[in-house]
Amino acid sequence: MQTCPKCGAPLEQVYSPEGISEKCPQCDYHHDELADLLAQTDFEKDESTPIDRLSASQRRHYMLSMTMTLKLMTILEGLLVLCTLISLLFRNALISYIFLGVVLIIAVYLIHGYLNIRRRLGLDSEEQEMIIIDMLNQDYQMKLLSEKHKTKLGCSLAYLKYLRTLKKEGLPYRFKTDPLYHDRIMSRVRKETNMNRRIEIQNYKNTIASLYSQREETLKRLKASMFKDYGYHVAISFKLGIVIINGHEYRFDEINSAEMMNHVYDDEEEVVIKDGYFKAPEDFNVLPHSQDAMNKHDKVTYDEESGVYKHYAFVEPVTEMKKVKRCDAMNIIVETYNGKEIIPIIDQMMDVTTPAYIAKQNDCYNVTGGLRRVARAGMPKQIPDLLADKQVAKLSEEMEKTQDQLIQLLKTPVVYKVPEEYREKE
């Protein structure tokens, strides 16, 4: 068991959905290796390239730019048009026709080239990136060749040789000689590798959180099985030495006393001695729509034999006032180490002679008796260790194993491997 570097006390393991950490029970020392490694994770690298950082206007500029061949052909077209005009001035028809034919051929090529430039704007971003990379690589290669060849012709010939080699060697040669293409491929590799690493880390974290949840549910179920529910938000475990009152957990030695408080008072209520009734029919007849027929205490019936409506008068019931005892509050006051807990049993008016009141009173005696037993009992000599349960210990072991695997993963540097198709054959 590890000890605290500050006070030397044995460290305790603290379980949480984020993992297992170590805490000193005697001082403020707390060590969480997993959290520290996650905060220091350095596998995140810049996944962008210079092409990614180009603005929309810069991309459009490159898309509308002419290639070197198109520029040379445009200049040549202008010269041929000028030569054609000169030949026409000297009235040399053969040379004029020759120049005119070449001009038309080059014009078709130029039209195709300009239409191709416009077509670039409709390409998707990946295709546009490849075109921009080709253009920038051409400038880069020409700059490198200009340091070796003094003349432009020499540079152009060397560049054509480079293009032939590029076509022959394929992707590995371009990956080696084109820095922007190299950055583009490695940026994609970094994105995929980092994404896989993130997913792998998140899977470990989800597994740890799931094991923690299962462990807590198992502990909760084991703990609940050792409690007796007394109702009224009171539960007592004589095995664990714990009582729960109104959701607050107390040790047995933190309960001082429990007293019952019953508020009973005298009251009066009206009791019916003799029920009301309707008198026999009177001698006089009553019309259906008279005021007597509308009286709520009277009733009018139709006698089929005589064919008349007969009036029955209501006689009021006989009542008297009777003294009764009522209860409007019954509570249990529990004295704890830091205050009081009030357990309400009755919070509305009830007649003390009713079965409902008697049942509540019995419940109050039962809860009060249990709490008084708690106050007298003190803490049990042997408290079962819930963490020693086989299922809990297995989940704790799996959680520690998973966390160790995650820590080992975080300590392993990220390796960005060059894809097979871009490696040179040995």
Q: How far is CA 125 from CA 48, 129, 157, 186, in A?
A: 14, 6, 32, 18
Looking at the DSSP bridge assignments, the partners of residue 344 are: 331
Q: What is the pLDDT of residues 68-114, one digit of tens each?
A: 667 777 888 888 888 888 887 777 777 778 878 888 888 888 787 77
Which run of H or of E encompasses 277? strand 277-278
- The answer to the question of residue 169 being in a domain is yes
Rounded Cα gap, residues 106 and 216, in angstroms: 81
d(CA 343, CA 106): 101
Residue 211 token pair: 């094991």
Q: Which of 229, 117, 177 has the alpha carbon at shortest distance from 422?
A: 177
Domain assignment present for residue 336? The answer is yes
Residue 416 domain-assigned (yes or no)? yes
111 falls within a domain? no
At residue 42, the pLDDT reads 66
Strands (E), 285-421: 299-303, 308-312, 314-315, 318-336, 339-346, 350-351
175 within 8 A of 395, measured Cβ to Cβ: no
- Show Cβ contacts of residue 415 under 8 Å, excluding neighbours closer than 6 positions: 193
**CA atoms of 96 and 326, how far apart (whole Å):** 129
Pairing of strands 19-23, 30-31: antiparallel
Distance of CA 174 to the CA centre of its chain: 44
**Domain residue limits at 421:** 123-228+385-425
Task: List the structure tokens of 247.
Answer: 């959701």
Same-domain pairing of 306 and 332: yes
Judge if 221 and 278 occupy the same domain: no
Handedness of CA 403, 19, 205, 33 (dihedral sign): negative
Any domain includes 57: no
Domain match, 245 and 150 both: no
On whether the CB atoms of residues 32 and 406 are closer than 8 A, the answer is no
Question: Which residues have a Cβ under 8 Å from the Cβ of 61 and sit 6 or more positions away?
Answer: none
Claim to verify: residue 260 and residue 188 sit in the same structural domain: no
SS3 279: coil
Identify the pLDDT of residue 279.
62
pLDDT of 292 = 47
Which residues, listed in sequence order, are joined to residue 270 by a DSSP beta bridge? Answer: 321
Q: In terms of domains, do 253 and 340 share one?
A: yes
Judging by beta carbons within 10 Å of its beta carbon (0-12, 13-18, 19+), is residue 46 exposed, middle or buried? exposed
Go through the chain and tell me how many residues it has.
426
Indicate if 363 and 395 belong to the same structural domain. no
Do 215 and 134 fall within a single domain? Answer: yes
CB 47 within 8 A of CB 32: no
**pLDDT by position in tens, the chain (length 426):** 688 888 888 888 889 999 999 898 888 888 898 999 888 876 655 566 777 666 777 766 666 666 666 777 788 888 888 888 888 777 777 777 887 888 888 888 878 777 777 777 777 777 777 877 887 887 788 888 888 887 878 888 888 888 888 888 888 888 888 888 888 888 888 888 989 999 999 999 999 999 999 999 999 999 999 999 999 999 999 999 999 999 999 999 999 999 999 998 877 676 666 776 566 555 544 444 444 444 544 566 666 666 666 666 666 776 777 787 889 999 999 999 889 999 999 999 998 989 999 999 999 999 999 999 999 988 998 899 998 899 999 999 999 999 999 999 999 888 889 888 888 776
CA distance 199 to 163: 41
Q: Which residues pair with 268 in a beta bridge?
A: 323
CA–CA gap between residue 144 and residue 132 (Å, rounded): 18
365 and 267 co-located in one domain: yes
Total domains in the fold of the chain: 2
DSSP H stretches of helix in 7-92 = 33-39, 56-63, 68-89
Residue 98 within a domain: no
- pLDDT at position 173 is 87
The per-residue pLDDT for range 339-392, each reduced to its tens digit, is 999 999 999 999 898 999 999 999 999 999 999 999 998 899 889 999 889 999
Same domain assignment for residues 404 and 357: no
Same domain for 276 and 159: no
In a domain, 196, yes or no: yes
Among 341, 357, 377, give the residue marking a domain's end.
377
- C-beta pairs of 356-363 under 8 Å, 24+ apart in sequence: 357/327, 360/330, 361/262, 361/330, 363/231, 363/232
If asked whether residues 276 and 370 sit together in one domain, one would say yes
Return d(Cα 102, Cα 96) in angstroms, integer: 10
- Claim to verify: residue 260 and residue 353 sit in the same structural domain: yes
Residue 88 falls within a domain, yes or no? no
**Tokens read off for 277:** 């009734």
Lookup result for tokens 């160790």:
404
Which pLDDT score is estimated for 128? 76
Q: Residue 265 burial by CB count (10 A; 0-12/13-18/19+): exposed, middle or buried? A: exposed
DSSP secondary structure code for residue 254 in this structure: G
